[in-house]
Structure 1
Amino acid sequence: MGEYADLRGVRTWYETEGTGEPLVLLHGGLCTNDTWGAQRPDLAAAYRVFLPERRAHGHTPDVAGPLTYRDMAEDTVAFVETVVGGPAHLVGWSDGGVVALFVAVARPDLVRGVVVIGANFRPAAECFVDPGMLDAMTPEGPDLAFFRELYEAVSPDGADHWPVAAAKVLDMWRTQPTLTTDELARIQAPSLVMSGDDDLMTLEHTADLYRAVPGARLAVVPGASHLVPLEKAALVNGLIRDHLTQGEVETMLPVRRAHPRSG
């Protein structure tokens, strides 16, 4: 069961589970908390897991105006400050990963660790393997049928609002995010960048994200797509847990992580 919190004028639905250090799961675009089904039990065994649904997603109503990652990041900051009550680990998938990046850039004091899965920091035209895929997507088309069913089942705005919400998300994907590498360089939390080896984002873009975040770690999961948390749940969950508990990485032959020699 979940409940609502009024945050920045957005009546935000969230759920909680487990005990331990706080960990916030940030779902993907057009998704609900149901898509974390393969991660929730595992992570809740070790953490106090918080699952907010963002504006125009799931049980959380839409608000006037376009959707932006910056607005959703500010909503998430308010959630961490108000509901979580202090710094938390952020684990974001797809759009949730983008939101996690924005939060980590703007409010490093609220972020203990970061895991972003299938995330991008530039708009679709600059990072998608097939940017033209968005041209074929419409709110009533077959490509979004799965997401439409998720939305219609729980949205307080009603099924009739789906075309509005879906159009906002599609517009956002075409023009956002617009993070720079200088902004990403401000992230202080230990960060893991993860993707499937056949993700929506190019491997080159994923590598650029990895290189831009100081001290980041990289995991490209073989035989997986943008749905890697569902396809390789046990591996993904293990990578998340290892990252959040490992501390500083020590390897036998460090190159990027080699400390500068003195003298």
Structure 2
Amino acid sequence: MRLLLWALLLLLPAQASAAPLWQTLPPTPPAVSGERSGHAKVNGISLYYATIGHGPPVVLLHGGLSNSDYWGHQVKALARRHMVIVVDSRGHGRSTRDDRPYGYDLMADDIVALLDALHIAKADVVGWSDGAILGLDIALRHSDRVGKVFAFAANTVTSGVQEGVEKAPVFARFIERARGEYAKLSATPKDYDAFVTQITKMWETEPNWTDDQLRSIKATVLVVDGDHDEAIKRAHTEYIAATIPNAGLLILPNVSHFAFLQDPALFNAALLHFIDGN
């Protein structure tokens, strides 16, 4: 699978840019025309979701501090052959939260509850950063609910994250952008600093999975990252792929933690090959 993916990616045209792609933060895509949105009452919160397209279901899970709009380029690509479900994680975007502390298990259970509400027995999962962790969490604890997992820029222990990532130029711009988007979308628009404080407490201690837990994953997993990811250590990405049974490993060239925005053609080629391949 790895050689096929690399061969596919090498056929894509090179992207011209005044700055290297990995140093850019392209705009958050607008909402995709045709999406049908709603709020599901699950686990004591109101969880925002939207669906588009028809076919085998694929759930897209965004990274921490962000929202489901970030997946716009991928929604368009996947919706040609799939029912695509995008979700704002609890407390993010248009979704609410309760007083319980953030935790990946809790947030993953929200997604499973949404699948129940939508009468979806099983779905593939595409995750970015925290969303990739949620996809792996579902594969760990709800193995019957997930097929394939495209895990982009995940960590499975806290030491897998680069120290001082919040000060990296592109990541710092993302954090500030997320502040404005939170103010625009959230039901509690003035609570961004409190929101960041709460989710940071989770990041300080989670995830903290053992080798045995990763070895228990039965789903088909592709572990993906950008070669200039400012958040996740390369050695840790390689460790995840080596530890999950039969997992693939793909390092996308010239992109960072925001590869799906920086080079959507490259990202989507890898994604579609994995999701729609045998």
Alignment TM-score, normalising by the size of structure 2 = 0.82
1:126-205 aligned at under 5 Å gives the runs: 126-129=159-162, 131-134=163-166, 144-157=175-188, 159-199=189-229, 200-205=231-236
Shift of 1:143: 6.4
* Alignment partner of 1:34 out of 53, 62, 69: 69
1:208-223 aligned at under 5 Å gives the runs: 208-223=239-254
**AA in 2 matched with 1:25:** L
For the residues of structure 2 that align with 1:36 and 1:193, how far apart are their CA atoms?
A: 18
For the residues of structure 2 that align with 1:242 and 1:203, how far apart are their CA atoms?
A: 23
**AA in 2 matched with 1:116:** A
Q: Secondary structure at the match of 1:147?
A: helix
**AA in 2 matched with 1:114:** V
For the residues of structure 1 that align with 2:253 and 2:264, how far apart are their CA atoms?
A: 13
* Alignment partner of 2:141 out of 106, 115, 137: 106
Q: Over the residues paired in the alignment, what is the CA RMSD in angstroms?
A: 1.6
Shift of 1:234: 1.1
For the residues of structure 2 that align with 1:62 and 1:10, how far apart are their CA atoms?
A: 5
User: Residue 50 of structure 1 contacts residue 84 of structure 1 at CA under 8 Å; is this kept in 2?
Assistant: no
Query: Which residue in the other structure is 2:44 paired with?
Result: 9
Report how many aligned residue pairs link the two structures.
239
For the residues of structure 1 that align with 2:252 and 2:173, how far apart are their CA atoms?
A: 28
Report whether the alignment pairs 1:240 with 2:271: yes
User: Structure 1's 240 and 143: CA in aligned 2 closer, same or farther, altered over 3 A?
Assistant: closer
**Runs ≥4 residues deviating over 4 A:** none
Query: Which residue in the other structure is 2:150 paired with?
Result: 115
Shift of 1:95: 0.5
User: Residue 58 of structure 1 contacts residue 155 of structure 1 at CA under 8 Å; is this kept in 2?
Assistant: yes
Bigger relative contact order, structure 1 or 2, given CA contacts below 8 A and separation 6+?
2
1:86-105 aligned at under 5 Å gives the runs: 86-105=121-140
For the residues of structure 1 that align with 2:100 and 2:156, how far apart are their CA atoms?
A: 22
For the residues of structure 2 that align with 1:142 and 1:65, how far apart are their CA atoms?
A: 29
User: Structure 1's 230 and 121: CA in aligned 2 closer, same or farther, altered over 3 A?
Assistant: same
User: Structure 1's 208 and 166: CA in aligned 2 closer, same or farther, altered over 3 A?
Assistant: same
Query: Which residue in the other structure is 1:225 paired with?
Result: 256
User: Residue 62 of structure 1 contacts residue 165 of structure 1 at CA under 8 Å; is this kept in 2?
Assistant: no
Report whether the alignment pairs 1:85 with 2:120: yes
User: Residue 46 of structure 2 contacts residue 97 of structure 2 at CA under 8 Å; is this kept in 1?
Assistant: no
Q: Which runs of 5+ in 2 are unaligned?
A: 1-35
Shift of 1:81: 2.4
Identity among equivalent positions (%) equals: 31
User: Structure 1's 38 and 142: CA in aligned 2 closer, same or farther, altered over 3 A?
Assistant: closer
Shift of 1:133: 3.5
Report whether the alignment pairs 1:58 with 2:93: yes
Output one character per residue of 1:146-169: Cα deviation in whole Å (capped at 9) or x when no partner: 110111111012x22111111112
Shift of 1:237: 1.0
* Alignment partner of 2:81 out of 35, 46, 52: 46
Shift of 1:215: 0.6
